[in-house]
Structure 1
């Protein structure tokens, strides 16, 4: 412990662990395990399973004029939250039920405004999608209260998370950390367990923002850094960070330890366990992040710290993949020897807020290939054609691609890693479309045809000795 006060944990609960009254009650019991030992806890919650997608669908429907569908979805959502509240012990005239009713009415009005204008701006989308977390926080508060834990819930903005106005993918401002400390220290000092609605913050003018998909992880680590927590625990429905997606690789195993750099690479290249920026607030203070299993709370899970640990002979810790990728190639005489063309390509991507997964340029400088997620491909091509229209250039697109990446600090300075990766692909006659290795030597990524990605992942996982030992039933 850092001082005579009980030490502090920040616990984040994902959508599955907030999915219904049973799941919420179990999540509350995990908080109770620590508070009963005198540990101070701040809880950060996600929306109930599927609610974020439901909110996005109904917002899109309202913009397209289908207000009946939007209202039906709001009614279903209201019933789901009411049912959970009732099962958690809320009386029909309780403050929790009244709060849920009022929030759904505010949501209905916001959606009706979109319908009237037939316009869904990034700002209004953030307002609408934030209701998922805002509705789940009172349910967690109710479950904790029923367990005898004194608590108080807040939105991300009320907790002090102040962001820029990059709606849909906002970033915390430097003043956030002092604000969070000022607002939550008082609650903790009064013996309360704060419950913070994750995924969201607010601008200096009070407009609600969201931190990007998976942003509740980010909320938790922002709070953890602000309060100088001993650790941040991300409770999941899996054992921790796995060496591959278990749906593609049945022999995937839990990774006991990762560095901040390794987990960021994994998250960026498709591992859905954490938000790609989740560890960044923790780095300055060296605060550990632990990914833990709600089904097996005694299991250590995955510990994420500043320094990597690598077993002897282990160069790669995990294989991950991003599906639904497109490769956009810009080529033609207009690109030869004209360095500002490449600069202009990146400026277009920045303006359109396009995440670039991989980039390669031919040695002759006659073409540049960009790997991006397919959902952004058409918009990207249109933007490039507008920006580069006056030059002798051709913009082509290749659909149905996936990016596979191997990650591990042990690759640094180790010979033959790339050869083993390519050899595993060659065994299955998988064609490689693009190759990229970061200067940090934490990853090597390749673009391949999407239809081959699961086979490739299994083959590469086995080639680097990551398959879990099969235990005999004898």
Structure 2
């Protein structure tokens, strides 16, 4: 899907056009999807893409660059709003109820949204809805202050205000520009989840059917653009607001795409698609033109922040839904398209990902060789302690695996919790752990493992880097190497030079 020609240029090359990326939209944008009877594409925009009023204008211009399509727009919160909301919740615990209105994060949120709303000339109705939400937010913070408790349920309610504000503002701006647009909270469309607050799972069976009905083709010559909150749902049993984890707006977009049986969902970020490595580590990282669902899932799980780890699940259910990652600051870049399958004949390495601050746990059986049930016992202990693992390597009497303690325990308790976990193996196995480790994930063509590992270990040997553990994922797209924290970045830079020659 290519955007129409830049309105301010008679000719615009198909490659990245810096002028097009910064052009100011006209005062009245053209309504997209006039000839469409139904939504034809989902376009999701992240927080940096809607960070302020000017960025929202740019997003509106992008939306109208595809006049042949009727989009459903999924938005994240503006800029760092979610972080400010969570900060406000934490500070409310140590602030008196009468002083809540003076909390700096709350003041920053109000100023950001009021300023943007004025700049975008939103109507009185939208202003009123936004002020009502800001008052509701302040009252929630007062309640947190009074109760001296910030529960996961309260955290989700708190975090929801960013998307609820941004979508109301954007829909109102589109209407001010003469476009037909309607705001929806995700639960208005039927997005239903488990009641696992702060990291809920989408319940696909009720959700997909409800979304398809809610966004069914409309009557009339002009079609209304739906503007939907990302990241949010309602719990099936509690009916309370839930969130889908950080980055969950990607998942919201692909759920809607699958529900409507669309050929493509576009996820607009601030990078030119998925890259061969983190540009903060490798300054010459390259865009990857195409990925499979499996590759994208492994990338997300092991640390790449371009997509939510579960965003590919609706695509897997659909089997025809492509996910295209594009740059809202460089709309002419082709981006990365993610599909079910691709030709891997000439693929060696796709991308190199770093996951830092992990712990390596070694567990060795104290019983004789051939003792059955060892692995079952080990993972039973993890289940009892509600601990999930990242990477696993096993032998008959030993197992090595990695944990991400920061996702399980508070920073001050990590050592104590790890010591308690080691004690849980007493009488069954001898356990020990090493902190400050990193996982380097090689997203690659595992059918060519010998060729890949020959090059990797040659590079690591020349750099004097020792691998503590190695594991090959069952998806056949990932080889994981565990190294010391201080060795990880030099290792990634060296491997990247070897495979991508830059």
With the length of structure 2 as denominator, give the TM-score of the two structures: 0.84
Kindly state the Cα deviation for residue 317 of structure 1 after the two structures are TM-superposed.
0.8
* Aligned equivalent of 2:279: 246
Instruction: Give me the whole-angstrom Cα distance separating, in 1, the residues matched to 2:492 and 2:168.
Output: 41
* Aligned equivalent of 1:309: 343
Instruction: Give me the whole-angstrom Cα distance separating, in 2, the residues matched to 1:239 and 1:217.
Output: 16
Q: SS at the partner of 1:317?
A: strand
* Aligned equivalent of 1:182: 213
Question: For structure 1, which runs of at least 5 residues remain unmatched after alignment?
Answer: 469-474
* Aligned equivalent of 1:19: 51
Q: SS at the partner of 2:103?
A: helix
Q: SS at the partner of 1:341?
A: helix
1:187-336 mapped onto 2 (5 Å cutoff): 191-204=223-236, 205-285=238-318, 286-310=320-344, 312=346, 314-330=347-363, 333=366
* Aligned equivalent of 2:447: 412
* Aligned equivalent of 2:381: 345
RMSD over aligned CA atoms reads: 2.7
Change (3 A) 1:304 1:19: same
Structure 1 residue 442 corresponds to structure 2 residue 473? no
Q: SS at the partner of 2:326?
A: strand
Q: SS at the partner of 2:303?
A: coil
Superimposed CA distance per residue, residues 244-280 of structure 1 (whole angstroms, 9 cap, x where no aligned partner):
1112111211111111111111111111100011111
Change (3 A) 1:347 1:375: closer
Kindly state the Cα deviation for residue 328 of structure 1 after the two structures are TM-superposed.
3.5
Kindly state the Cα deviation for residue 184 of structure 1 after the two structures are TM-superposed.
1.9
Question: For structure 2, which runs of at least 5 residues remain unmatched after alignment?
Answer: 2-34
Kindly state the Cα deviation for residue 361 of structure 1 after the two structures are TM-superposed.
3.8
Change (3 A) 1:431 1:63: farther
Give yes or no for contact 2:37–2:218 (8 Å, CA) kept in 1: no
Instruction: Give me the whole-angstrom Cα distance separating, in 1, the residues matched to 2:146 and 2:317.
Output: 47
Kindly state the Cα deviation for residue 215 of structure 1 after the two structures are TM-superposed.
0.2
2:164 to 134, 158, 167: 134
Instruction: Give me the whole-angstrom Cα distance separating, in 1, the residues matched to 2:38 and 2:194.
Output: 34
Structure 1 residue 156 corresponds to structure 2 residue 186? yes
Kindly state the Cα deviation for residue 356 of structure 1 after the two structures are TM-superposed.
2.1
Change (3 A) 1:22 1:435: same
Q: SS at the partner of 1:382?
A: helix
1:114 to 141, 144, 151: 144
User: In terms of mean alpha carbon deviation, does 234-243 or 322-331 score higher?
Assistant: 322-331
1:421-440 mapped onto 2 (5 Å cutoff): 421-440=456-475
Instruction: Give me the whole-angstrom Cα distance separating, in 2, the residues matched to 1:436 and 1:381.
Output: 28
Kindly state the Cα deviation for residue 24 of structure 1 after the two structures are TM-superposed.
0.8
Kindly state the Cα deviation for residue 394 of structure 1 after the two structures are TM-superposed.
5.8
Aligned residue pairs total 456
Give yes or no for contact 2:122–2:172 (8 Å, CA) kept in 1: yes
Give yes or no for contact 2:381–2:425 (8 Å, CA) kept in 1: no
Change (3 A) 1:386 1:439: closer
Q: SS at the partner of 1:432?
A: coil
* Aligned equivalent of 2:104: 72
1:460 to 488, 492, 495: 495
Instruction: Give me the whole-angstrom Cα distance separating, in 2, the residues matched to 1:458 and 1:437.
Output: 21
Give yes or no for contact 1:103–1:131 (8 Å, CA) kept in 2: yes
Superimposed CA distance per residue, residues 1-22 of structure 1 (whole angstroms, 9 cap, x where no aligned partner):
9x98466010000010010000
Give yes or no for contact 1:329–1:369 (8 Å, CA) kept in 2: yes
* Aligned equivalent of 1:471: none
Give yes or no for contact 1:348–1:387 (8 Å, CA) kept in 2: no
1:379-394 mapped onto 2 (5 Å cutoff): 382=417, 385=420, 389=424, 391-392=426-427
